[in-house]
Amino acid sequence: MKYKIDVVRIRENSIQINGWVIGRTPESKPAFRVLDENHENVEIKYVSTRRDDVSQIYYKKIYDRDFGFDIQFPYERGRSYRLLIRCDNKTSRIKFNEELIAKRSSVAYKRLEKLRDLMNMETVRVAVDFGRKHGLRALFLKSKHKLQGIDNDYEYAEWYNLTKPAEEELARQRAEDASRGPLLSIVMPVYKAPPEFLRVMLDSILAQTYSKWELCIADGSPKGEEASGLVGEYAEKDARIRYLLLGKNGGISENTNAAIGQARGDYIVLADQDDAMPEHALYEIAKAIREHPECDVIYSDEDKMDMDGGALFDPHFKPDFNPDLLCSVNYICHQFVVKRELMERVGGFRGEYDGAQDYDLIFRCTEAAEGIFHIPKVLYHWRCHQGSTASNPQSKLYAFEAGSRAIMDHYRRMGIAAEKVEKGVDYGIYHTKFTLQGEPLVSVIIPNKDHSADLDLYLRSVITKCTYGNLEFIVVENNSTDPETFAYYDRIQKEFPQVHVVRWEREFNYSAINNFGVKHSHGEYLLFSNNDIEPIAENFIEEMLGFCQRDDVGAVGARLLYQDGTIQHAGVVVGFGGIAGHTFIGLHEAENSYFHRAMCAQDYSAVTAACMMSKRSVFDEAGGFSEDLAVAFNDIDYCMKVRGLGKRIVYAPFATLYHYESKSRGLEDTPEKVARFNREVARFAKKWPDILRDGDPYYNPNLTLRKSNFALRDLLKEKIGEPYPMPEEIKRLMEETQDGP
């Protein structure tokens, strides 16, 4: 028998325990008992739960069995209890009391648990399987990243306490005159609300530093389970609280619409009965509305709190509005604020999307919004238990299907042809397959200097293995010296007539070489490629073309992996390292990235031209690559120009290739090359100062610019909202550099 306790929490006069247990075979059935201090049986409520992750790890396949458990029993403070788990004629006894539960909740205990998890035999077994599948280097990297996670600069709760407003600031906010508005209508559907949770939410609203609000509650609970007594207690103290007893449960959408129907405010603020808001939440919302009156949709960052409300964890620091990320996952979620006039215009919630009703509403509101503003601060605490991610994903299937329909409806309203929306890396993460408009010619532009074996691997793989056929290849010969290279050119053009070699006979300039290649091409779409890449996904061109055919998209990037399966490119953040850098470098493809971002299609400020598709019409309008950037950041500069045309840059994670990293050009390993590189860094910084000063809109200012893993900012080295300090040498070169074209 093996077992694990994932979560223990006290809820007033009861204890709830979540975990899992397995026996020698999948058919082994565990039994549970709870004894008090007198060894008397305690009545328990037991619910079995699906734990497909446990089944997969220990039995190598998913069985139709419930290996998890959720046990609840009455608890008297000051007393001890023992949970007895019996399976395969063995019994384990686990002791619980307040002291032990408090210890379990401590940061030190959680770190120790992580270390134990890394050292126990179960983890060894999982590690062996991972190593067999992905290799020893991948296993080493995953273990290294787990250990780094144990020793982060900050636990989130500590970081939050260091960054939240001080009492002096909260007092200043309370002293401000709120009479000028706006009036914020908090709408909250209630159904069988646990009193202790509802009380926390009501207390958090009454504690707000901004005073011009109203709370509109609609209660669909059955008779005898209404919250009228508790809400009435609060309403007697504060006339801003209004309560509507519905008499029946119309479902989450209908109940919320009933709450909205009571609202008289300028803006609607959505809230759930068992969550909470920090004291400054409404103040920040009102401030954003006054400073950005053109915006009729506002959202913020959020985190989670455990079921007892005593611990904050799993913060979600979001980008500014990112339409393609929204089509991959409902990243907006909480806190969501909508102008009442817009809410009425789009028609509120729709019951046929229950399970993903907020996702559907967010799509319709953002489509019709005049402006959308993101507040990069945690203004909402979402209650859930920390073991919830281990629960059976199948239980979320109805919500996933409703979300898929919401995305497809969004595409229809926007005139985007999509074939289907399917499950991505997990339920709640979506992968769209777009309907291709015909089979347009795609011109693949490949600069090349020697390394004919690498070039042949790429050409032959795309031509013989990949599924898109209407291609031409423009190989731009760039000062090769190996005679075999030229012999290869002759052979490959005879074997594959769609391959054309053109000669660039001037000095190396990546931008000019690609511009030269485009002049010799005929395709409606251009696929810029290094010569040292190899397709993994046979449909990578279709994945990129599906995005690139959209009118709102100007360029598309791929997910590139090193040969060992670690990420080389999953999008670019302007500001990383002072200028720009790739996201999630070195993370193994089998590891989870920050909120699955490496596996979500999304908009970025830039992507790498090691594999980048762009419309020819957009390329021409943008003026091609800037030839004053011969080596560095020319692809980032191109993406910035495309964005300046009002077009999006999309990262397509299912377009996957290996990248063997710039074999032709070599390293910046001489003083002359380093000096040239620094001059181009300075030139880029001088051309695009706004984004370097204000921050990348597709990144969050609470996250570090020193690493590519979306970690929290190190408060000792980086101030929130300030850019990464630019090296003095680059600043000097910026002053000396003349403006480029």
Instruction: Tell me the H-state helices in 534-670.
Output: 540-548, 616-622, 634-644
Quote the tokens at residue 659.
């990248």
- Residue 664 pLDDT: 44
How many angstroms separate the CA atoms of 634 and 641, rounded? 10
Percent of the chain at pLDDT > 70 equals 88
Residue 53: pLDDT band by 50, 70, 90 thresholds? confident
Does pLDDT of 451 surpass 80?
yes
Q: Is 553 exposed, middle or buried (0-12, 13-18, 19+ CB in 10 A)?
A: buried
- CA distances from residue 505 to 445, 480, 513 in whole angstroms, order as listed: 17, 10, 10
Look at residue 496 in the predicted model and tell me its pLDDT.
97
Provide the pLDDT for residue 138. Answer: 57
> What residues does 71 pair with on adjacent strands?
17, 46
Instruction: Please tell me the distance from the alpha carbon of residue 135 to that of residue 659, in angstroms, as a whole number.
Output: 18
pLDDT band at 722 (very low <50, low <70, confident <90, very high): confident
What's the one-letter identity of residue 380? Y
AA identity, residue 368: A
CATH 3.40.720.10 describes domain 178-390: no
Cα–Cα distance for residue pair 316/285, rounded to 1 Å = 18
Q: How confident is the model at residue 139 (pLDDT cuts 50, 70, 90)?
A: low
pLDDT of res. 287? 97
Burial class (CB in 10 A: 0-12, 13-18, 19+), 418: middle
Predicted pLDDT of residue 396: 66
- Quote the pLDDT of residue 345: 97
* pLDDT at residue 145 greater than cutoff 60: no
pLDDT of residue 13: 72
Confidence of residue 577 (pLDDT cuts 50, 70, 90): confident
pLDDT of residue 51: 80
For domain 2-105, the CATH superfamily is: Immunoglobulins (2.60.40.10)
| Contact in structure between 684 and 735 (CB atoms under 8 Å) | no
Residue 347: pLDDT above 60? yes
pLDDT at 154: 66
Provide the pLDDT for residue 665: 46
Is the pLDDT at 676 greater than 50? The verdict is yes
Q: Which CATH architecture has domain 442-736?
A: Alpha-Beta Complex (3.90)
More confident residue, 67 or 379: 379
Selected residue with higher pLDDT from 16 and 38 = 38
Between 155-159, 174-178, 537-541, 657-661, the lowest mean confidence (pLDDT) is in 155-159
Rama region for 30: left / alpha / beta (φ>0; ψ in -120 to 50; rest)? beta
pLDDT value at position 109?
43
Query: For residue 142, what pLDDT is reported?
Result: 56
Task: Give strand ranges (E) for 364-456.
Answer: 372-383, 418-423, 430-434, 442-448
Identify the residue with better confidence: 128 or 312: 312
pLDDT tier, 631 (very low <50, low <70, confident <90, very high otherwise): confident
Arithmetic mean of pLDDT, 437-458: 96
Judge whether residue 112 has pLDDT over 60.
no
Mean pLDDT confidence for 713-718 = 82
pLDDT band at 602 (very low <50, low <70, confident <90, very high): very high
Sign for the CA dihedral angle at 302, 388, 268, 273 comes to negative
The answer to which of 24-28, 173-177, 344-348, 437-441 has the lowest mean pLDDT is 24-28
- pLDDT at 126 exceeding the cut of 90: no
Q: What is the mean pLDDT of the chain?
A: 88
Same fold, 2-105 and 442-736: no
**Domain layout of the chain by residue ranges:** 2-105, 178-390, 442-736
According to the model, what pLDDT value does residue 678 have?
82
Average pLDDT over residues 612-636: 96
Residue-wise pLDDT tens digits, 410-446: 999 999 999 999 999 888 899 999 999 999 999 999 9
- Whether 692 shows a pLDDT value over 60: the answer reads yes
The percentage of the chain sitting over the pLDDT mark of 90, rounded to a whole number, equals 67
